[in-house]
């Protein structure tokens, strides 16, 4: 399977600092997606980056994709307490493959006051 694997598994930073999470995957993709999950809630989609894109921004979020290294990173700038959550990457397979979107195990982000 082409499971995305996030790194690190857990991250604690001070409020106001930037947080960077990484995702690596194994096979070719159509796109890669990042999701956030607050404790006890369902996942919420944050951003989708297609295989022909290298960088994408959404508010304080910046996502990069390097298909040659099969990796992506999610940067959250100027972190806030409300950013405390788990973050998951999910890889969507290239067309015509019989694979489904697969989620990684997530990075737990804790913003310290």
Partner 1 sequence: NAGVTQTPKFQVLKTGQSMTLQCAQDMNHNSMYWYRQDPGMGLRLIYYSASEGTTDKGEVPNGYNVSRLNKREFSLRLESAAPSQTSVYFCASSLDSLNEQFFGPGTRLTVL
Nearer to partner 1, 48 or 61 (CB): 48
Nearer to partner 1, 18 or 51 (CB): 51
Q: For residue 8, which phi and psi values (nearest 5 degrees)?
A: -80, 175
Residues that bind partner 1 (CB under 8 A): 1, 30-31, 33, 35, 40-45, 48, 88, 90, 92-93, 95, 100-106
**Taking the complex as a whole, how short is the minimal distance between the CB of residue 20 and partner 1, in angstroms?**
20
Nearer to partner 1, 74 or 90 (CB): 90
**Taking the complex as a whole, how short is the minimal distance between the CB of residue 47 and partner 1, in angstroms?**
9
């Amino acid at each position: 399977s082409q499971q995305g694997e996030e790194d690190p598994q857990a991250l604690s930073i001070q409020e106001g600092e930037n947080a960077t999470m990484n995702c690596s995957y194994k096979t070719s993709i159509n796109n890669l997606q990042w999701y956030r999950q607050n404790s006890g809630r369902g996942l919420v989609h944050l951003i989708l980056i297609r295989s022909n894109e290298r960088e994408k921004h959404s508010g304080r979020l910046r996502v990069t994709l390097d298909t040659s290294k099969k990796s992506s990173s999610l940067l959250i700038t100027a972190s806030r307490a409300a950013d405390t959550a788990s973050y998951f990457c999910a890889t969507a397979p290239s067309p015509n493959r019989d694979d489904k979107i697969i989620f990684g195990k997530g990075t737990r982000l804790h913003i310290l006051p």
